[in-house]
Amino acid sequence: MKINKYLLTGIGALALGALTASAATRTWTDAQGRKVEAAFIKLDGETIYIQTADGSVHPLPLSRFSAEDQEAAKTMAPADNANILAQVPTNATAAQAAGKIDQLVAMGLQKGNVKLAEAWRKQVAEDAKKGVKTPTPTALKPNPPCTDEQFIRRVYLDIVGRIPNYTETSVFIKSASSTKRAELIDKLLASDGYVNHMYDYFADMLRITEGTNQVRTLNYAQWLKQQVVANRPYNEIVFEMLTAEGKVWNNGAAGYLLRDSGMPLDNLANTLTVFLGTDVACAQCHDHPFSDWTQMQFYQMASFFGATTTRLNGKDFAGGDPEKKLTEELTYMMEKQGKDVKEARIQVQNAVRNVFTANRMSIKDRDQNGMKLPADYKYKDASPNDPVAPKLISWSPKDKENPAYKDAEAELGTSSTSKSTSKKTAAKAATSAAATASAAAKNEGLRNTFAKWATHPQNPRFAMTIANRMWQRAFGLGLTQSVKSIDNPDESYNPELLKHLSSEMVRLKFNLKEFMRVVYNTKAYQSEATTEALAMGEPYYFQGPVLRRLSAEQAWDSYMTLVLGDKVDSIKNTEADLYGRSVDLDLEKATPQTLISKVTALQTLGQKQAAKMGGSLAMANKDDAKKKGTGAAMEKMEDEDMMIVKVGNMKLMRASELEQPTQGGHFLREFGQSDRTVIDGASKSGSVPQVLMMMNGDAQKLLTDKESLIHRTLKLAKSPEDKTEIVFLSILSRKPTLREKDLAKKELQAHGEEGYSNMIWALINTREFTFMQ
């Protein structure tokens, strides 16, 4: 029996493991009468799984088959090993796992065509009444495979967050190896640049800032980078953030809760949105108007954090709040030294307050849960200001059977509802010391219970949300309209694919690097970008990635690559260490002397930072600078390894190493870097100031500077033709076309050396540079 290619679009030569057909085979016929022989595996909603003779299992839309087959499928019993057959084997290679994804993408396209055809038939019937001829719709089909030139630019921007430099591009394009794409993916995933770019993604998602309430929380960013370096499983990273204790410089993960110190309800809303793809922010103030979430449910979830404080006060110190006592002692010391009393007091108070404010920013689980309903609570199930006991939300009635819930319920125990700070309950509890101790222990463990549930592999949304986010990173669109609100997975663009990606996330044990390796190896990812405009609200079937504007970080880091080359990936910011060491103080044990040492350390911190900066572009590319003996530029270099080059107001480092976020007016902000107030707050739209910056900005000037890497690379070539090729390969990662070569030749004849700067300027300002195909 001939296997019909059209019916089984997407079936590669790939067999998923050594699986053989176990059930009797049957001849299946599609709506157009084409046939294929295969064994029935299972029917899952509108998707039928059949296994062909080569052992591979194909998910296909049921609607593609003849009415007779559809009826048959509904009555047939699933194969014994149906669920195993439909899954990817535990130890599948990236290529095998990618093949499975491609099958599901192909199936999604077919379903899309069925829908298109249905809509078309309806339209024909309507138009016939009016006597109008209906144009035939174009069938959806996968985009053609992308070229090596398109691939290398895309994969560098996606994985390491910058364009490839001239050498990287030319080596790859020249290579004749059949496995060079997979090898490049592996190389990039293992590189420093991967860390920079993955961090950029998380920083936008988690709204990472330099500080909160005048306290610098740089260690949070540093900690997150370390997790990415170690490729720590995502569920562990999130668990640690949700359960962290202490100060941010002793435990960077504490930055997650400290980021929203003083607004725990906002923090919770963000937690549910960012990690569980569930938008319940409305329920913070009233029952959700469109979903089922109630305000009570929101507060029940918030109650898991009701015993947690992010700011230490009198309650948290054995001997009461030490600030007042220390201030008095210090003032007394200064008075004895003959300082003017009033002035001394102000100075001391301010200095002490700064150190205290910083060291009070610490997460601690208290033994009492203070979560109460708001004063304006207006629903009948409780009264305003009532204490609220913790309770988990669920998305479907089936969730109760889910191990994630069973574990949590076991920890909460049946008495969880009686635990509260209400006076009555507290009075009763006081009669039994044991009960009090147990309630206290439970309160201290609430966050832990929540975090275990939230990051549990079987949580109905956790794996799905990060899988959807990672898919969006690669394709430019998620499988749902918004990655922040999955709502109903069955209404996503491709429900089978979304569910499969979630199970892949679990199979890969939340190893994001492995997950991305699979995605980057798919044919879908390695297809050309979709050229048509996408209609808002219409489903997308992942014919290939969509055309994306570079993120602010990708654009800046690409500029840096043109200036410094690939060494830009290894320049690191170490500021967090210095700040943490300077400010940390154990408030319980603080003495006037230790306090003074902290104040002094903070004051000298600024000078240390400034000493690490300076220089010029020549110095950044210092091998050459040495040869040319530009001694003046070298003067400021105290410690060559630690040195950060600053030209004008720009530190020549990757976005991930700069201020978080950079100040308004910086290249990154003008290009749309998030101000980090909102989840995924980055913008990809243009503006007049942004275009002005691309035309006349300081960063632009760096590129046309004779010391930038691109200019120095030009010196290596002799002929104008070769030089033109270098300019194109360096900026657009492709060779010039014949027409472009001709244009370049004329430009060089007319303007000589200046012509290269003009070409660089022109290419940087093309849409081709600003967008990624």
Partner 1 sequence: MSNPFLKWDTASRREFMLRTAKTTLGVSVLSHLDKAMGAAEPAPAGKGGKAKAVIYLYMGGGMTHIDTWDPKTGETKGAKEPISTNGNMQLGGYMTNMAKVADKITVVRSMSSKTGVHEAGNYLMHTGYEPRGTIVHPGLGSWAHHFLGKVQKTLPSSVVIGSNNASSGFFPPAYAPVPIGNPDAGLQNIKTTVGEDSFNKRLSLMNEFDTAFRDKFKSADVKAYNEFYDETLKLLKSEDLKAFDLAQEPAETKALYGNSGFGKGCLLARRLVQNGVRFVEVGMGGWDMHNNIDTAMSTTGATMDMVFAALISDLKRTGLLDSTLVVMGSEFGRTPTVNENGGRDHYPKVYSTVFAGGGVKGGYVYGSSDKDGREVADKQVSVQDYIATIGAAMGLPVDKVVFSPSGRPFTVGDKGSVVADIFA
**Among 124, 125, 171, 285, contact with partner 1 (rule: CB under 8 A):** 285
262 is an interface residue for partner 1 by CB under 8 A = yes
Looking at the Cβ atoms of 433 and 535, the one nearer to partner 1 is 535
CB of 145 to partner 1, least distance (A): 16
CB of 74 to partner 1, least distance (A): 34
Instruction: Considering only residues 116 through 155, tell me which ones interact with partner 1, judged by CB under 8 A.
Output: none
Cβ contact 523:145 at 8 Å: yes
Longest dimension (CA), the chain: 103
CB of 708 to partner 1, least distance (A): 14
Q: Give the angle 551-554-556 at the CA atoms, nearest 5°.
A: 105
Instruction: Considering only residues 353 through 392, tell me which ones interact with partner 1, judged by CB under 8 A.
Output: 376
3-state secondary structure labels for all residues of 587-629: CCCCCHHHHHHHHHHHHHHHHHHHHCEECCHHHHCHHHHHHHC
Looking at the Cβ atoms of 46 and 680, the one nearer to partner 1 is 680
Cβ contact 540:477 at 8 Å: yes
Looking at the Cβ atoms of 146 and 516, the one nearer to partner 1 is 146
CB of 482 to partner 1, least distance (A): 4
Cβ contact 56:14 at 8 Å: yes
Looking at the Cβ atoms of 16 and 694, the one nearer to partner 1 is 694
Instruction: Output DSSP code: residue 533.
Output: P
Interacting stretch for partner 1, rule CB under 8 A, among 36-44, 524-532, 579-587, 626-634?
A: 524-532
Q: How many CB atoms lie within 10 A of CB 393?
A: 19
Q: How many CB atoms lie within 10 A of CB 715?
A: 11
CA distance 501 to 522: 13
Instruction: Considering only residues 549 through 568, tell me which ones interact with partner 1, judged by CB under 8 A.
Output: 549
Cβ contact 344:333 at 8 Å: no
Interacting stretch for partner 1, rule CB under 8 A, among 2-10, 95-103, 429-437, 668-676?
A: 668-676
CB of 177 to partner 1, least distance (A): 29
Residues 399-438, one symbol each (x = binds partner 1 by CB under 8 A, - = not), give ----------------------------------------
Looking at the Cβ atoms of 187 and 286, the one nearer to partner 1 is 286
For 322, 559, 672, 772, the CA distances from 554, given in Å and listed in that order, are 47, 9, 11, 10
Residues 288-327, one symbol each (x = binds partner 1 by CB under 8 A, - = not), give -----------------------x-x--------------
Cβ contact 526:489 at 8 Å: no
Instruction: Considering only residues 702 through 741, tell me which ones interact with partner 1, judged by CB under 8 A.
Output: 704, 737, 740
Instruction: Please name the residue that has the structure tokens 């109460």.
Output: 372
**Among 31, 547, 602, 634, contact with partner 1 (rule: CB under 8 A):** 547
Instruction: Copy the structure tokens of residue 183.
Output: 């090898």
Interacting stretch for partner 1, rule CB under 8 A, among 63-71, 415-423, 490-498, 665-673?
A: 665-673
CA distance 39 to 152: 40
Looking at the Cβ atoms of 92 and 351, the one nearer to partner 1 is 351
CB of 536 to partner 1, least distance (A): 5
CB of 25 to partner 1, least distance (A): 45
Instruction: Please name the residue that has the structure tokens 């105290």.
Output: 638
For 240, 365, 417, 446, 490, the CA distances from 440, given in Å and listed in that order, are 22, 10, 14, 10, 42
CB of 685 to partner 1, least distance (A): 5
Instruction: Output DSSP code: residue 682.
Output: -
Instruction: Considering only residues 201 through 240, tell me which ones interact with partner 1, judged by CB under 8 A.
Output: 213
CA distance 109 to 193: 34
Instruction: Copy the structure tokens of residue 102.
Output: 């491609």
Instruction: Copy the structure tokens of residue 257.
Output: 């809760």
Cβ contact 462:455 at 8 Å: yes
Residues 9-48, one symbol each (x = binds partner 1 by CB under 8 A, - = not), give ----------------------------------------
250 is an interface residue for partner 1 by CB under 8 A = no
491 is an interface residue for partner 1 by CB under 8 A = no
CB of 251 to partner 1, least distance (A): 23
Interacting stretch for partner 1, rule CB under 8 A, among 261-269, 377-385, 431-439, 491-499?
A: 261-269
CB of 632 to partner 1, least distance (A): 23
683 is an interface residue for partner 1 by CB under 8 A = yes
DSSP alpha helices (H): ranges in 644-753?
Answer: 667-670, 688-696, 698-704, 709-716, 720-732, 738-751
Sheet holding 362-365, edge to edge: 246-247, 362-365, 308-309
CA distance 390 to 373: 12
First to last CA, the chain: 40
Instruction: Tell me the site size for partner 1, rule CB under 8 A.
Output: 76
CA distance 96 to 393: 36
Instruction: Output DSSP code: residue 482.
Output: B
767 is an interface residue for partner 1 by CB under 8 A = yes
CB of 527 to partner 1, least distance (A): 15
**Among 632, 695, 716, 722, contact with partner 1 (rule: CB under 8 A):** 695
Interacting stretch for partner 1, rule CB under 8 A, among 75-83, 327-335, 407-415, 758-766?
A: 758-766
